[in-house]
């Protein structure tokens, strides 16, 4: 049923719980798992002193999140790939899901209150609304 499972990671406990669910599904369906993390865009800061250092720090932090997730997986029998991207998280998830033809997106939620979610939106909300495939949001 699932050949490619995309799991979005932000380093939160909820995203690690999403990873756990994605792992179980990948094992059950012998699916490829793609772990992604999107770090905040830096293009608007190009003229700021220390720009390259900022980009390097954001990439390094993002890679640590992916490395930690990889360690949490342990030894697995399915294929695992990683994508470290720059830009808004929801847009990155949707882009990778479309390009890589994901069969399922798994992500955590931080459980924002309804009012805050309505005003600011949320990654999970946007992904659920625009995803090209089923979405599992883990609490």
Task: Find the CATH number of the domain harbouring 17.
Answer: 3.40.50.620
Which has the higher per-residue pLDDT, 14 or 44?
14
Range of the domain at 91: 4-138
**Across residues 43-55, what is the average pLDDT?**
76
| Cα separation, 99 vs 118, whole angstroms | 28
What tokens appear for 87 in the block?
Answer: 């830009």
What tokens appear for 72 in the block?
Answer: 């949490």
Residue 75 CA, chain-centre distance (Å), reads 20
- Reading phi first (left if > 0) and then psi (alpha if -120 to 50, else beta), residue 100 is in alpha
Q: Give the model's confidence band at 119: pLDDT under 50 very low, under 70 low, under 90 confident, else very high.
A: very low
Residue 66's pLDDT is 98
Question: Which are the contacts of 39, defined by CB distance < 8 A and separation ≥ 6?
Answer: 58, 59, 61, 62, 84, 85, 86
Question: What DSSP state is assigned to residue 10?
Answer: -
**pLDDT tens digit sequence for 107-117:** 998 744 445 45
Percentage of the chain modeled with pLDDT above 90: 76
Number of compact structural domains in the chain: 1
**pLDDT tens digit sequence for 9-42:** 999 999 999 999 999 999 999 999 999 999 988 7
Q: Are 34 and 7 in contact (CB under 8 A)?
A: yes
Which of 34-48, 75-89, 120-134 is most confident?
75-89
Residue 120's pLDDT is 47
pLDDT at 43 over 90: no
pTM of the model: 0.88
| Cα separation, 48 vs 71, whole angstroms | 35
């Amino acid at each position: 049923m699932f050949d490619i499972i995309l799991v979005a990671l932000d380093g939160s406990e909820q995203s690690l719980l999403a990873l756990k669910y994605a792992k179980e599904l990948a094992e059950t369906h012998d699916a490829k798992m793609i772990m992604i993390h999107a770090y905040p865009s830096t293009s608007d800061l190009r003229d700021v002193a220390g720009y390259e250092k900022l980009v390097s720090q954001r990439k390094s932090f993002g890679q640590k999140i992916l490395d930690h997730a990889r360690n949490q997986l342990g030894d697995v029998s399915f294929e695992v790939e990683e994508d470290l991207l720059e830009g808004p998280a929801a847009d990155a998830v949707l882009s990778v899901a479309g390009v890589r033809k994901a069969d399922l997106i798994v992500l955590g939620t931080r459980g924002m209150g309804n009012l805050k979610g309505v005003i600011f939106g949320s990654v999970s909300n946007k992904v659920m609304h625009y995803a090209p495939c089923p979405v599992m949001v883990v609490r």
